[in-house]
Structure 1
Amino acid sequence: MLTVALCTLRNRWVSFAGCFAALFLGTALIAAMGQVLASTVGTPDRGPQRYAAAPVVVVPDGTLTVRTAHGVTSVPLAEPRGLPAGLAARFPGAVVDRVFAARLDGGPPAVGRPWSAARTAPQRLTRGRAPVGDGEVAVSSSALRAGAGTQVGRRVTVVTAGGAAAYTVVGVTTAGPQGTVFFGDARAAQLSPRIDALALWEPTGRVRAAVGGRAVVLTGQDRALPDPSRPADDRARNDADTVVGIAGGFAAFVCVFVVSSTFALAVSQRRREFALLRTAGATRRQVRRMVYAEAWAVALAAASLGALAGPFAGRRLLDRLIGLGMAPEWTVPSRSVVPALVAFPTGVLVALLGAAAAARRAGRVAPAEAMREADVEARAMTPARWVLGLGALGTALVCMVVTAVGDPASAAHSKSSMPVVMLLVAAAGLLAPAVAGPVTRLLVAPLRRLRGATGEVVPAALLASVRQTAMTAGPVLVTVGLTAALLGGAAMGDAAKEAVQTRPVRADYLVLPAAGSGLDRQLVDRLRALPGVDVATEAQTDVCTLEGDTVLIGRPVETVDPQALRAVLDLPLAAGSLDRLDDGGIVVSRSWGRRLGDRVPVWRADGSKVTLTVVGVLADGAPADAYATGAHAFSALPSVAYVKLRAGTSPAAAASVLRQAAAGHNARVVTRAAWARDAGAGGRSASRVGLLAVLAVILAYTAIALVNTVLIAVADRTPERRALRLLGARRAQVLRFVAAEALVVAAIGTVLAGGTATLALAGLWVSLAQLTGPVGVSLPWAATTAVAAGCAILAVSASVLAAALTDRPRRPAPA
């Protein structure tokens, strides 16, 4: 059987070329994704930046540790504690560093630090001198507006947590790890009494002995822990890992789907050959072994080449992710061979899994089928196909129902919705032969009205081989279905998130800080003093709760002024009232698992423990996880100020007064409508980048798989086209038949994809409606139409080109 399998591969190389290409691409994609993942995981953290020049750094213990009955649990603190002043006095030569909010009015994000801390990076003067007096500052070049030029000698407004004040710029330094406004040491101590770090040039052993257990001593690579880029670096690494993981999962799914469909199509074209083998005495087991041998031969060649080519594609993919800001720019490309070693057996396994169903089907071919004169399918659906298809569909529906009833909020996240979409696409592919017949009859109805042979030949050919038609339409189903479902789901999820954030807001205006900062206290006092308006602020902090008496869970909490909150926010409550919210109470969401009146021990951002009473339970669709009073905010600055006009207050006059108050404080005043529009656009742009990166990988693969599948189908129909030529059809007519068939097949795949996407979006709509009420269905018509048109063009072009090349007139043999 091995000899027969090799001969079959040689004689039917066109059919198996499609299997080879699909498997090669799938293996290469898996290896490429693994290479990117190895790069992001294996890249070491960046070296120290803020304290690169200091060999020893002492920082406060930023960890909350709680002893439980089952051991010790720890989480990072959100609010720095600061070092004791007595500890700093023990090291006369230490640099006392204070890092606090400070930013030039209209400038990029920056922090304030004492001038003595400039040597820790180091940041050197490029112009001017060091600040000495209370009214002097030096600024790093990265803290200046682009194109601002030299600032030495100019008066500038610097906004700190306390408010805005005028300073004279006496020096400009190198960029450093982040934008920095340097103050004199005495002035910096006035603005921020808390000591955030000590930079030392002393022996590590002496420092550890002097510090004891009152702080943490950092040396070597650990000095990078306080760096300002550390959180952003971790987020970038996690974003890259998430995108690669999702794309890799989809690549594996699409690979299995396409390879299994391609093998099934290739085997279904050879039923007569299998019947002849059975007639010649081959057993069913031998036929199955022959199909597996063919799969082995194709898989070994394709998977080995794909595993070798994947790492090279992985480097380009990594560069693209870095360019999109979805991977750390300092990522070092991995040279590990593990992704290739994993991709190779994965590709072989995928080929064998894809060939398994085809091998079973080949083994069931009866010897009598060798007497057939026409390739008309007796049965489009097998029992196993019914079971798998209905099982996948039922699983997807159950998942959607469970999500809608139990956790509708998770439906807006791609990690929850993508598996459901994959199940629906798999179900549609398995059940496609059952519905391809009615869909084909509907789509070919206009062709039957045409004069000539096209109206008869094309519908008859498609309806005579419904299973093959469905298999050929499979790549179109995957391509168009995933595009419509994923982009439509992302748009609906963004709309739901926007509604959750914007619907409760009753304020007429919002005062928002510049990106990377908060509203200073001076501005907040000015806003509250304005006549004719009610002002409420929100500042985000974090608290920790002990879940199950075993682990600390960090939870975001919005701190507000309860008296003014109700005038500007209409929060959905399932129980309780905001009127009872005070310093000893808290309003929580259902995710806390608490009931009204429960006493909840919480650890606040600075590690202090308090017990709060649940005075309200938020309903689904609330914009935050919990609300508490401003007494628990500590140093957190407000992220927004809601302004509600009182009766009789002129909107135009109020807007003018608000803008005057916000001038010089790195803040802007926007109407509620403008804020809602900007918030929706920002959320959409952020969520689209990762999704488009995933779709780009999938669409590139399925587009090539579509061409391969069409080529296999066209090659199998060569005898039929030659028969048409013998009956008198011109070559141009035959090519029109081929183009019409390809166009109808693409339309069938698009219709099936539309049904799949509709079902997926309907389930998502039901879940999101539990949070925000009915949400608008935003279908990605432009993207879906473009992808469907591209599939149709590819299918028609590949079909016509393949038919033109295989149906060339043969030269007569020489006499």
Structure 2
Amino acid sequence: MTGLVWHIVRARMSSLLGTFLALALGVALLAAMTLTLVSTVGGSGRAPRWYTAPDVVVAGAGKVSITSGSGEDRETSSTRTIRTRALPAGLADRLQAALGGEAAVVVDVAGYAAADGAPGDTVHPWSAAALHPYSWVAGGAPRAAGDVVLSAPTGHRPGDRVTVATAHGTRVFTVSGVLRTDAPGAFYATDPVAMELADGRVTAVALAVRPATTGAGTSTSTGGAAGDPARPRDAAALAAAARAVIHDARADDGSVRVLTGNSRRAGEPDPDGERRTVAIALLGTTTGLGGFVSVFVVAGTFAYAVAARRREFGLLRAAGATPRQVFRLVLGEALAVGLLASLSGVLLGTLLAPAFAEVLVRTGFAPSDFTAHFVFWAVTPAFGTGLLVALGGAWAAAWRAGRIRPVEALREAAVDRRAMTVGRTVIGLLAFGGSVPLIAVLMVSPSASAVALIIVAAMLLIVGFALFAPLIIPPLAWLLTAPLAASPGAVGLLARHGARGAVRRTAATAAPILVTLGIAGATLTGFGTLQAATDSAARDQITADALVVPAVGAGLPDAAVQALRAVPGVRAAVPVGDASVYVRDDEDLEPWAARYATGADLAGMLDIPVTAGRLADLTGTDTVAVPAGSRWKLGERAELWLADSTPARPRVVAVLDRRLDLDETFLLPAALRTGHEPALATVVYLRLTPEAARSAADRAGVAAAVATATGGVGKTVGTDEYLSAANAEQARANRQASVVVLGMALVYTAIAIANTLVMATRDRTREFATVRLAGATRRQVLAVVGTEAVVVTGVGAALAAAVTGITAWGAQYGLADLAPSVPIVIPWGPLGAIAATCLAIALLASVIPASLLLRRDPADLAAVQE
């Protein structure tokens, strides 16, 4: 049997090529996704970039750990937070006093600082520049309090005056030098200035072992001084000494970490932490989508390839082959093709992964230094999945092939008499049934995160429609080809009967179009509808007369807010700062959005309805207003962790009503932010005096005064301008997310469309010969093929429209209670372009191979062996 399998594989190499390509490309897609995901997740295990010189780094806690279960079933899960906790007051001095004589000690701080034309938004002491390699581009070190060193690339040069936004307001510095380093870009100021701008908040203490002297002018690289056995001789001894100091300071409660080796990276500034988290989430979705698309396409391709060989299997049965032998033959072919294709796919995916990682960097979802690299264990699932899909996709088809009767050898027509099977019906019903609870969840418990269920629901609907295609296609094709019935000539008639009669062929060729347009339509429409609903909710919420947003940097400092309150025409200025908190969700920690504000000040600025309690009670440092979706009630203690991993147990003073713009968002008192994050306002809401709000000229005067009062770091915008800018940014993020999530999957399905149609066209050799011998011209046959390609595209597009319509309706229905209006936003431009591309591919992949076949004489064509 093995020899027969390899003989058939060699003999049918050209016909198996389509199956091989579908599987190889599917495995390549999955391998590229998994490699990129593993590379992103594994970034924290790389060598440090900032703390490369020190042997030991003492840093504050930078992760949250929770333990679930009991006894032997206890499990601990950890999540790295956006920021690291500051070291306890006085600990840096203790470490310096205890170890300064035996080790090089550098106290590092990270204050907020931002300026136009300069990368980064943190300022470090100049002494911290020695913690990592650097080279000078121009200039030199800062010597005076007004000097600053910038990291390249920057548009500034030594001698330039730069206005820097800090947490204490704006300050003007003189650029003393520009350096280049592989560490994250930052400002460097003199040590006292950096400490002042960081409010004395020590980020880390870096320790390096000093070479021990053995005599005058000599030193050794390994040992301590003679007669000084307590002297730290290596990183391990230095770390032990640091832990002893921490223990004596009673700071060994988990809030301080002693880091060595590659773990030093965990204590570094991580300006790309949020982007890395987003990238991991997106890549998880992309990998799941890529796996679904590849399995869907490959399984359909295998099934069609086996079904197209019905006559061949009938001949084998007539020659005496048993059903078991035919079954084993088909599975043997699938195993041979699966092994070769999976191996080829893994190699191709390994080559594609770095290019995909570069796309992530260009679109801003990954840090600039991110790249995908080969990890053996990460590609083994892709290889195994390819092999399993090959065998699984061929299993059912092989079982049906074994049941083919010898009389099937006499059948020449491609008309399907029984395309629907019991198994196909059951699995199709399960797929449709599985989509119902997902859409129900979106309708009953809607949220911004729940919209992600659209993709999963769309996958199940696509599977359901694909499996029920033999029942749906005949009436749908009849409807779509109705205009052809009235057209003169035989072309329209043949195309109409071909699409309706060869149901399995039409279903197989329409399936890649269905998955391409279905996934794209559901995803893009879901994103667009969510964005429109969010905009509607935000417009309904903001009642302020004007808003002030940062013109430079990430926020407005308290000094700028105080200056705003003194601007003529401004009656009230209420700052609101965006942040994140971590909430326990059973056995995991989930990041939730948070806003820092004083509850009493929000009245008249934002319309925030509550179902219990009062926002006016949101004061001090021990209160919180929780969203309706949280599990806490009024008066209870919420269990939260702040962005720097500090635990907080504030009392619930208000429960927010369900609103899309406040979905999964906590309101925290502004005072709680002190010491944990820079006191920066993301937006400041203004209430103007009646005189200032009276005319556009008066508003322009207020805007000019605001720019002057804030030192140019703030600008006044209206509600429409603010939301339009936010929408534009969200639309850009959605487009980039769509490129990441859909990009490679759509490229793969486009290739799959061409591959399936080439296979289907090549298998119609005898049909073309029969039509030509009956008197049809070559042009007429090509017209029939082209018309059928248009019909197939129409069938796939119609089914995809049904998938998009069902998911969009579910999203609109569910979001209706969270926003004043929820229009369904269909991105006709991108979807039209994708549909046109599918049509063009279908036409080319059908007409070109048919044209090549029809070059031969009809009699020779009829004699071609299958």
When the two structures are superposed, what TM-score results if normalisation uses the length of structure 2?
0.83
Deviation at 1:569, TM superposition (A): 0.3
Deviation at 1:139, TM superposition (A): 1.5
2:706·2:715 contact (CA, 8 Å) conserved in 1?
Answer: no
Cα 1:519–1:13 change in 2 (3 A) is same
SS for the counterpart of 1:380 is coil
Q: What is the identity, as a one-letter code, of the residue corresponding to 1:174? A: L
The 5 Å alignment of 1:309-388 reads 309-331=348-370, 333-372=372-411, 374-388=413-427
User: Which sections of structure 2, spanning at least 5 residues, go unmatched?
Assistant: 210-231, 233-237, 861-866
Cα 1:354–1:221 change in 2 (3 A) is closer
Q: Distance in 1 between matches of 2:407 and 2:521?
A: 45
1:512·1:639 contact (CA, 8 Å) conserved in 2?
Answer: yes
The equivalent of 2:781 in structure 1 is: 734
Cα 1:81–1:63 change in 2 (3 A) is farther
Q: What is the identity, as a one-letter code, of the residue corresponding to 2:574? A: A
Match for 2:805 among 748, 758, 762?
A: 758
**Which stretch of structure 1 is more off in the superposition, 488-497 or 343-352?**
488-497
Match for 1:90 among 93, 97, 114?
A: 97
User: Could you give the per-residue CA deviations for residues 116-166 of structure 1, whole angstroms, max 9, x where no partner exists?
Assistant: 444444678776676566xx322223389x4333326x5x54433222344
1:102·1:161 contact (CA, 8 Å) conserved in 2?
Answer: yes
The equivalent of 2:688 in structure 1 is: 645
- Please state if 1:481 is matched with 2:518: yes
**Which stretch of structure 1 is more off in the superposition, 780-789 or 629-638?**
629-638
The equivalent of 2:16 in structure 1 is: 16
SS for the counterpart of 2:604 is helix
The equivalent of 1:149 in structure 2 is: 157
2:51·2:265 contact (CA, 8 Å) conserved in 1?
Answer: yes
**Which stretch of structure 1 is more off in the superposition, 782-791 or 512-521?**
512-521
Q: Distance in 2 between matches of 1:458 and 1:190?
A: 75
SS for the counterpart of 1:309 is helix
Match for 2:758 among 674, 695, 711?
A: 711
Match for 2:665 among 625, 648, 651?
A: 625
Q: What is the identity, as a one-letter code, of the residue corresponding to 2:123? A: G
Deviation at 1:743, TM superposition (A): 1.8
Q: Distance in 1 between matches of 2:599 and 2:208?
A: 49
The equivalent of 1:590 in structure 2 is: 628
Q: What is the identity, as a one-letter code, of the residue corresponding to 1:161? A: A
Q: Distance in 1 between matches of 2:588 and 2:378?
A: 35
SS for the counterpart of 1:377 is coil
The 5 Å alignment of 1:651-666 reads 651-663=696-708, 664-666=711-713
User: Could you give the per-residue CA deviations for residues 47-67 of structure 1, whole angstroms, max 9, x where no partner exists?
Assistant: 444444444444445677899
1:544·1:552 contact (CA, 8 Å) conserved in 2?
Answer: yes
Q: Distance in 1 between matches of 2:591 and 2:776?
A: 74
Q: Distance in 1 between matches of 2:69 and 2:399?
A: 57
The equivalent of 1:418 in structure 2 is: 455
The equivalent of 2:228 in structure 1 is: none
Match for 1:192 among 196, 199, 202?
A: 199
The equivalent of 2:338 in structure 1 is: 299
Match for 1:391 among 426, 430, 437?
A: 430
Deviation at 1:641, TM superposition (A): 0.5
Cα 1:223–1:191 change in 2 (3 A) is closer
Cα 1:597–1:239 change in 2 (3 A) is closer
The equivalent of 2:730 in structure 1 is: 683
Cα 1:579–1:11 change in 2 (3 A) is same
The equivalent of 1:538 in structure 2 is: 576
User: Could you give the per-residue CA deviations for residues 390-410 of structure 1, whole angstroms, max 9, x where no partner exists?
Assistant: 210121122110232134443
Q: What is the identity, as a one-letter code, of the residue corresponding to 2:687? A: K
Q: What is the identity, as a one-letter code, of the residue corresponding to 1:28? A: A
- Please state if 1:179 is matched with 2:190: no
Q: Distance in 2 between matches of 1:157 and 1:630?
A: 27
- Please state if 1:227 is matched with 2:268: yes
User: Could you give the per-residue CA deviations for residues 513-570 of structure 1, whole angstroms, max 9, x where no partner exists?
Assistant: 246432122211122233443321113456667777x988765542222232011101
Q: Distance in 1 between matches of 2:574 and 2:838?
A: 54
Q: Distance in 1 between matches of 2:197 and 2:363?
A: 41
- Please state if 1:784 is matched with 2:831: yes
2:323·2:403 contact (CA, 8 Å) conserved in 1?
Answer: yes
The equivalent of 2:469 in structure 1 is: 432
Deviation at 1:242, TM superposition (A): 3.9
1:621·1:772 contact (CA, 8 Å) conserved in 2?
Answer: yes
1:103·1:181 contact (CA, 8 Å) conserved in 2?
Answer: no
Q: Distance in 2 between matches of 1:98 and 1:483?
A: 46
Q: Distance in 2 between matches of 1:806 and 1:721?
A: 9
Match for 1:794 among 821, 841, 852?
A: 841
Deviation at 1:642, TM superposition (A): 0.7
User: Could you give the per-residue CA deviations for residues 637-659 of structure 1, whole angstroms, max 9, x where no partner exists?
Assistant: 22210113343433532342243
Cα 1:619–1:810 change in 2 (3 A) is closer
Deviation at 1:207, TM superposition (A): 4.4
Match for 2:149 among 134, 137, 140?
A: 140
The 5 Å alignment of 1:101-116 reads 101-104=112-115, 108-116=119-127
The equivalent of 1:27 in structure 2 is: 27
SS for the counterpart of 2:844 is helix
**Which stretch of structure 1 is more off in the superposition, 516-525 or 210-219?**
210-219
Cα 1:128–1:465 change in 2 (3 A) is closer
The 5 Å alignment of 1:796-811 reads 796-810=843-857
Deviation at 1:790, TM superposition (A): 1.8
Q: What is the identity, as a one-letter code, of the residue corresponding to 1:629? A: P
Cα 1:392–1:68 change in 2 (3 A) is closer
2:118·2:150 contact (CA, 8 Å) conserved in 1?
Answer: no
Q: What is the identity, as a one-letter code, of the residue corresponding to 1:625? A: T
SS for the counterpart of 1:619 is coil
**Which stretch of structure 1 is more off in the superposition, 474-483 or 766-775?**
766-775
The equivalent of 2:212 in structure 1 is: none
Match for 2:286 among 240, 247, 266?
A: 247
SS for the counterpart of 1:388 is helix
When the two structures are superposed, what TM-score results if normalisation uses the length of structure 1?
0.88
User: Could you give the per-residue CA deviations for residues 701-756 of structure 1, whole angstroms, max 9, x where no partner exists?
Assistant: 22222222212222232222222222222222222122112222222212222222
SS for the counterpart of 2:541 is coil
Seq. identity, %: 35
Q: Distance in 1 between matches of 2:290 and 2:135?
A: 49
Aligned residues: 802
SS for the counterpart of 1:536 is strand
- Please state if 1:512 is matched with 2:549: yes
Deviation at 1:309, TM superposition (A): 3.2
Cα 1:46–1:180 change in 2 (3 A) is farther
Cα 1:751–1:579 change in 2 (3 A) is same
Q: What is the identity, as a one-letter code, of the residue corresponding to 1:657? A: V
Q: Distance in 1 between matches of 2:262 and 2:84?
A: 22
Q: Distance in 1 between matches of 2:546 and 2:744?
A: 43
The equivalent of 2:299 in structure 1 is: 260
2:124·2:186 contact (CA, 8 Å) conserved in 1?
Answer: no
The equivalent of 2:323 in structure 1 is: 284
Q: What is the identity, as a one-letter code, of the residue corresponding to 1:299? A: G
1:725·1:731 contact (CA, 8 Å) conserved in 2?
Answer: yes
Q: Distance in 1 between matches of 2:583 and 2:857?
A: 81
Q: Distance in 2 between matches of 1:483 and 1:67?
A: 40
User: Which sections of structure 1, spanning at least 5 residues, go unmatched?
Assistant: none
Deviation at 1:434, TM superposition (A): 1.0
